[in-house]
Amino acid sequence: DTGVSQDPRHKITKRGQNVTFRCDPISEHNRLYWYRQTLGQGPEFLTYFQNEAQLEKSRLLSDRFSAERPKGSFSTLEIQRTEQGDSAMYLCASRPGQATNEQFFGPGTRLTVL
Amino acid sequence: AQSVSQHNHHVILSEAASLELGCNYSYGGTVNLFWYVQYPGQHLQLLLKYFSGDPLVKGIKGFEAEFIKSKFSFNLRKPSVQWSDTAEYFCAVNVHYGGSQGNLIFGKGTKLSVKP
């Protein structure tokens, strides 16, 4: 399968713990996005990478959240000191550099904070 | 702030009925428009997109959408739905302004249930 992959698919953690998610984009895509989706809502933008550079961050991305894409390939999203309000589906998407191409989404990581 | 409104939260249709899902966005500048679909247990996938040109765009599985700039709308249509169209449908907008890097703004989604 050459689509966007995410790991893990599910994560259950206790409040206050740190969690890290990984996204592997489609190999030739240099642009990578993270979104968060809660129940009854559409995905909401968190952050964007072009190659290894993080070029945009949403106000939703509090200082407990950090994202990296060290070599311009896979990306990680870390949440420190998790809160129950962080429970959501975290989606990763990638696209090539051309502006007319759509974003390709991964299956998501479902986070449950107890 | 830019936003996308989807008017229907849940639509229930019988097979062969016609479908129209509403989508309106709030932004006066250049936009790219998308409809994504999420089938049960699957990830988001693109149904169709509008960037420029003919405002009536055709997508996969017999879906089409019409961009009406004066109404800030991009409604999704299908003349005859099938049970396999049961899914959640999301309208999304990519606005163009200084500093924007192409992130999508999604509506809340419309759940479509098709009765066999």
The position carrying tokens 């070029």 is: A55
Q: CA-to-CA distance for B53 and A68, rounded, in angstroms?
A: 37
| Chain B residue nearest residue A6, CA to CA | B43
Q: What is the pLDDT of residues B17-65, one digit of tens each?
A: 999 999 999 987 788 899 999 999 899 999 999 988 999 999 999 999 9
> What is the DSSP secondary structure assignment for residue B85, as one 8-state letter?
G
Residues with Cβ within 8 Å of residue A70, at least 6 apart in sequence: A52
Q: Please, are residues A26 and A104 in contact by the beta-carbon 8 Å criterion?
A: yes
CB nearest B44 (choices: A41, A99, A105): A105
Residues 18-37 of A with CB under 8 A from B: 31, 33, 35
Query: What confidence score (pLDDT) does residue A28 get?
Result: 86
Instruction: Using pLDDT thresholds of 50, 70 and 90, give the confidence band for residue B115.
Output: very high
Q: How far is CA A105 from the centre of its chain?
A: 10
Query: What confidence score (pLDDT) does residue A72 get?
Result: 86
CB nearest A42 (choices: B46, B102, B108): B108
Query: What confidence score (pLDDT) does residue B101 get?
Result: 62
- What is chain A's mean pLDDT, rounded? 93
Examine the pLDDT at A97 and tell me if it is beyond 80: no
Examine the pLDDT at A85 and tell me if it is beyond 60: yes
Q: CA-to-CA distance for B45 and B61, rounded, in angstroms?
A: 12
Residues with Cβ within 8 Å of residue A27, at least 6 apart in sequence: A2, A73
Helices vs strands, H then E, count in chain A: 0, 11
